[in-house]
Structure 1
Amino acid sequence: MGNKGSIAFLPENVTDTHANSTGISSVWNDSHQAQILGIILSILGSFLISISLNLQKYTHIRLAMKQDPLPYYKSKLWWCGVLLMGIGELGNFAAYGFAPATLIAPLGCVAVIGSAAISVLFLKESLRASDVIGGTLAVTGTYLLVTFSPNVSQDITALKVERFVVSWQFLVYLVLEVIIFCVLLYLYKRRGVNHIVVLLLLVAMLASVAVISVKAVAGMITMTFKGDMQLTYAIFYVMAVAMVASCVFQVKFLNQAMQLYNATEVVPINYVFFTTSAILAGIIFYQEFRDAGLLNIFMFIFGCLLSFLGVFLIARNQEKSTFQEPYINFGEIPGMETVDKIQPNANSITYGTLLNE
C-alpha cells in the first residue's frame, strides 16, 4: 500500500523533471529515427544513380559496337537507366527533409563507390589497387560521417525558414557569396578565364543555394504530409524558384567544365567543392552544428577528408580521352550533380560521376 501511494507524495518538481526528461527523450528518438531514414534514402538514391549511369554507359557501348546503331534514346535499356536516375534523385531530394544537409551532401560519395563497383562486376572493367584503397577510405569516411553527424531537429517549417533567411549570419554569408560569384562570373565571361577551379567554384556557389532551397522545400513538403500545411506560405514558392534556377545554372556550368576537362579532374574537385559548400550552407543557414561537441566536429571533418581522399583515388587513374569527338552530356539536379560523358567511338569512351545531390 505504501509503495502504491508514494507516487502521490513526490514533490512537484520531481514529477515535472521526469516528464521533461521523457519528453526530451521522445523528441531525440524521433529526430534520430528521421535522420536514419534520411541516411537510408540518400544511400539508396545514390546507389540507384550509380546503377543508372552504368546502364546508360552499357547502352552506349553496345550501340556503338553495332554496324547500324539506333539512336540511344530509342533503347529501352537507356530509358530504364533514366527512370532509375529519376527515382534515385527523388530519394536524394526526400533525404533532405529528414536529415541534416551537412550529412546528406557528403553521402554523395556512395554514388562514386557504387559506380566503380558496378563497372568492375558487370562491365568487366579492371580493378585497380587505387579503387580498393579509395573505396575503403570512402566507406570509412561515410561511417564516420553517419556516426558523428549533428543530431538536430529536422522539422523545417515556413516560419523557421523565414527566420533563417533574415538571420545576420546568413545575410553576411549571402553578401560574400554574391560578391565572389560576380567576380568569378566576370573572370569567366569577360576575361575568358575558364580554369577548372573557376568553373567548379561557380558550381559550388550555386550548390549552396541549391542545398538550402532543396532542404527548405523538402522539409516543408514533409511537414505538410505530417498534417502541418506549409504550402500556403510565400516562402515555399520563393525557395522552389531558387531551387530550380540554381540547379539549372549549376548543370550548365558543370557541363561546360566537362567539355573542357576530363572527368578524372572534374569528379573529385567538384565533389570536394560541392560538399564543402553544402556543409557551410547547413552550418550557417540551418545552424546544424550549433550544439555539437568538439569531438563530433573533429571526427565529422575527418570523415569528410577520408571521403574526399577516397573519391580522388577512385577517379585518379581513369583513362583520359585523347579524342575530341562530339559527346553527349546527361545532367541532373540537387545533391547529385551527375554527368555521363560518352564518346560515340566505342574505343574512346570516358565516363564520370560528378557529385552534389
Structure 2
Amino acid sequence: MAAVRRWSEGMSSDNVKGLVLALSSSLFIGASFIVKKKGLKKAGASGIRAGSGGYSYLLEPLWWVGMITMVVGEIANFAAYAFAPAILVTPLGALSIIISAALAHIILREKLHTFGILGCVLCVVGSTAIVLHAPPERQIESVTEVWDLATEPGFLFYALLVLTAVFILIFHFVPQYGQSHIMVYIGVCSLVGSISVMSVKALGIALKLTFSGMNQLVYPQTWAFTLVVVTCVVTQMNYLNKALDTFNTAVVSPIYYVMFTTLTILASVIMFKDWDRQNPTQIITEMCGFVTILSGTFLLHKTKDMVDGASLTSMSMRQLKHEEEDGFDESIPLKRQDSLRIIP
C-alpha cells in the first residue's frame, strides 16, 4: 500500500489524464470485440467469411457498431499516449481482456473455464505491477525531437526487423497456416501495432503541442507519422478481423494483448529509452509483471483446449450413436472451434 501511495502521489497531472483515458479505452475496445464478432458471424451466415477472405461484413450494420465502438476506444487510447508513456498506457489493455472474455462467455456462449478466469486475474495482476513501476513521461517540445528518436540506428534496426517479419508472415505463412495457427494473424497485428503506437504517440504529442499554442502541423514529420499510423491501422484491422472470425474471442484477445503489449513496450524502450529513467528494481518488477501476464495467457489458452476436448468427446459419442442407429458414417469435418457449437 505504501508503494501505491507513493506512486499515486508522484504521478503528474499528465500521467493521471493518460491513465483515465487508457481505462476508458479498454472498456470500449473490450466490448467492441464482442459486437464485431456478432457482426462477423451474422455476415458469414449469408456470405463469405472474413477468415476465408470475404468482406461481406462491410455490409453488416452490427459490425459497424462494433467498429465505431472500437474507434471511440482507439481515440481515447490515442489521447492517452499523448499524455503518458507507453509502459503506463499499454498494459492497461488487460481490462479489455476481462471485458471481452466475460461478454464472450455470456453473449457468444464461448465457454470460459475457471482457470480462464484465473488467467484473466493474472493478466491484471501483471499489468498492475508494470503500471505501478512505470517511468515518468519524457518531456518533448517538438515533433522533430520524436523524429530524431525514430531515426536513430537502434529503432531503425527494430523497424526493419518488424517489416521483414510482417512480409514473411503475410506472403508465406498466412496462405498456409492462417486458418489453423492463431499466432500468424495475431503476429501480423502485433508487429505492425508496435510501430503504429510509436507513430500514434508522435502524432499525439504533435497535436497536444499544437493545441497548446506551438503549431506542429507545419512540420513534414507530423504528416509522415500520420501516414504510418493510417497504413498500420488498416493492416491491423484487416488481420484482426481474420483472427476474430477464425478463432475463439476469449483466446484471441489475451494473446493479442500480450504480444502487442510486449512488442509495444520493447519499441518504446528502444525509441524513447524509457528504461534509462528507471532503476534496476523497477525494471525487474516490470519484467516479473510480464511473466505474470504470460502465465495468465497460457492458462486462457489451455482453457480453450480443455473446452474443445470436452466438446469433441461429446461430439464423437453422438456420432458413434448415430452410426450405430443408421448403419453408416456421417462425419462432419470441423475447421473452426465455433462449428462445435452448432451441434445439437
Common topology (TM > 0.5): yes
- The answer on whether the counterparts of 2:37 and 2:244 sit within 8 Å (CA) in structure 1 is no
Change (3 A) 1:259 1:86: closer
1:284: Cα distance to partner? 0.7
How many angstroms apart in 1 are the aligned matches of 2:11 and 2:140?
Answer: 9
1:280: Cα distance to partner? 1.2
Change (3 A) 1:324 1:222: farther
- The answer on whether the counterparts of 2:27 and 2:96 sit within 8 Å (CA) in structure 1 is yes
1:106: Cα distance to partner? 2.2
Tell me what 2:261 maps to: 275
- The answer on whether the counterparts of 1:31 and 1:152 sit within 8 Å (CA) in structure 2 is no
Percent same amino acid among aligned pairs?
A: 29
Tell me what 1:176 maps to: 161
1:274: Cα distance to partner? 1.4
Tell me what 1:310 maps to: 296
Change (3 A) 1:324 1:105: farther
Tell me what 2:71 maps to: 86
Aligned residue type for 1:101: A
Change (3 A) 1:42 1:58: same
Cα deviation 1:288-322 (Å, max 9, x = unaligned): 11121111111112122222332443454345599
TM-score of the aligned structures, taking structure 2 as reference length? 0.71
- The answer on whether the counterparts of 2:258 and 2:293 sit within 8 Å (CA) in structure 1 is no
Change (3 A) 1:115 1:258: closer
Structure showing greater radius of gyration is: 1
Residues 1:134 and 2:119 aligned together: yes
1:134 is paired with a residue whose SS is helix
Cα deviation 1:145-201 (Å, max 9, x = unaligned): 210111132546312112112212222323333444444445337x84545444433
**Aligned positions of 1:77-116 closer than 5 A:** 81-116=66-101
How many angstroms apart in 2 are the aligned matches of 1:188 and 1:62?
Answer: 28
Richer in helix (by share): 2
- How large is the Cα RMSD of the aligned pairs? 4.0
1:279 is paired with a residue whose SS is helix
How many angstroms apart in 2 are the aligned matches of 1:144 and 1:315?
Answer: 22
Please, which runs of 5 or more residues in structure 1 have no aligned partner?
1-27, 65-70, 328-340, 350-357
How many angstroms apart in 1 are the aligned matches of 2:203 and 2:71?
Answer: 18
Residues 1:239 and 2:239 aligned together: no
1:253: Cα distance to partner? 3.1
Mean alpha-carbon deviation: is it higher for 204-213 or for 119-128?
Answer: 119-128
- The answer on whether the counterparts of 2:251 and 2:300 sit within 8 Å (CA) in structure 1 is no
TM-score of the aligned structures, taking structure 1 as reference length? 0.69
Tell me what 1:6 maps to: none
1:207: Cα distance to partner? 1.6
How many angstroms apart in 2 are the aligned matches of 1:129 and 1:302?
Answer: 23
- The answer on whether the counterparts of 2:29 and 2:96 sit within 8 Å (CA) in structure 1 is yes
- The answer on whether the counterparts of 2:255 and 2:297 sit within 8 Å (CA) in structure 1 is no
Equivalent residue pairs, number: 300
How many angstroms apart in 2 are the aligned matches of 1:91 and 1:205?
Answer: 21
- The answer on whether the counterparts of 1:200 and 1:257 sit within 8 Å (CA) in structure 2 is yes
Residues 1:151 and 2:136 aligned together: yes
Change (3 A) 1:296 1:177: same
